[in-house]
Structure formats: C-alpha cells, structure tokens
Amino acid sequence: MISYSVFCQLRELADQKHLTIAQIAAELALHPKTVAQWVPRPSYQRRRSTKRPSKLDPFKAHFVGV
C-alpha cells in the first residue's frame, strides 16, 4: 500500500513526464509490480479492511449481563 503523496508523485511521473513503469519504480524506490498496479488507477483508493469475526464472539453472550 502506498501513501497518497506517493500516489501523487507517481501520477505526475506517469502523466506529465511520461516515464516508464521501471523508471517510476526506480525514482520512487518502489517495486515495478507495485507501480504497474497503481499507474492505471485514475484516483487514490485506500485498501478496504475486511470484517473479521472476533475469537470472543461465541462467548460474548455470557458477558452481556455481567
């Protein structure tokens, strides 16, 4: 996951300076696969967190009234 500021730098290098993925990766010290995933995106999108059940869910009924 990259930050918004790194995404803005990436967009500038791709759109205005027309650098290749390898050149952008070297400039920003990122892996080329990371750059390749972010270059086609038109806007910054944060990673969505997944809702996971708690290990305590089966026991919560016992503690509600206490």
Place of tokens 């990259």: 2
**Which structural domain, as residue segments, surrounds residue 4?**
1-44
Q: Is 30 a member of any domain?
A: yes
The predicted pLDDT at position 41 comes to 93
Look at the chain and report how many structural domains it folds into.
Answer: 1
Q: Where are the beta strands (DSSP E) in the chain?
A: none
Identify the pLDDT of residue 38: 95
Per-residue pLDDT of the chain (66 residues; tens, 9 = 90+): 899 999 999 999 999 999 999 999 999 999 999 999 999 999 998 888 888 998 988 888 887 655
Distance CA 33, CA 25 (A): 9
pLDDT for the residue numbered 56: 86
CATH of the domain at 16: 1.10.10
Q: How far apart are CA 33 and CA 1, in angstroms?
A: 12
Does 14 map to a domain? Answer: yes
Residue 22: inside a domain, yes or no? yes
